[in-house]
Amino acid sequence: MDKRPFTCCFTGHRNLPIGQEEELWKRVYACLNPLLEQGVRYFGVGGALGFDTLVAERLIALRESQPQIRIILVQPFQGYQSRWTPAQQARAAAVEARVDKVVVCCQTPSREAFLARDRHLVDGSSCCIAWCTRTTGGTAYTLRYAQKQGLRVWNVAQPGEWS
């Protein structure tokens, strides 16, 4: 069975605006809730710091009241968090322990591994919720790729796309 019609991916920056996590989640949820009502139940997250981690943690919490939710953590390569602080690594491990599935895209570390992760997220989805404030970098690349692939895309950094 093709799960793409029932799958949404996320992409966003590593650095979140200080003190804005609740507002950011409110915007994401405004896009997410109608998708849940339409039967979307698989959610792909990239496992990076910032937006990915926020969304993964909130999806895990939301799964308490929405047990149909399945969370897929898509990693670029094994051990990609090795340069993170111990606190960041612990937070990532806590997320990884509670997701439904972990996918590792590449065997060796490389820039291509991160792009492979981003493409994997998009290629398995019918829609994408993004937080993108720049025109360059991995998030911008993923957002453009999602648009080129014909996904429904919401950029919660843009007024009107989420309200």
In which domain, by residue range, is 85 found?
A: 4-155
Please count the structural domains in the chain.
1
DSSP letter at 133 equals -
**pLDDT score for 163:** 56
**Within a domain: 86:** yes
pLDDT category of residue 7 using cuts at 50, 70 and 90 = very high
Tokens standing for 144? Answer: 């453009």
Q: Are the C-beta atoms of 36 and 1 separated by less than 8 Å?
A: no
- The residue to which tokens 């793409």 are assigned: 4
| Tally of CB atoms within 10 A around 61 | 12
- The residue to which tokens 């999602």 are assigned: 146
pLDDT digits (tens, 9 = 90+) for 101-135: 999 999 999 999 999 999 999 999 999 999 999 99
Q: Which residues contact 160 (CB under 8 A, 6 or more apart)?
A: none
**Within a domain: 163:** no
pTM, 2 dp: 0.95
**Within a domain: 161:** no
**Within a domain: 162:** no
pLDDT digits (tens, 9 = 90+) for 79-108: 999 999 999 999 999 999 999 999 999 999
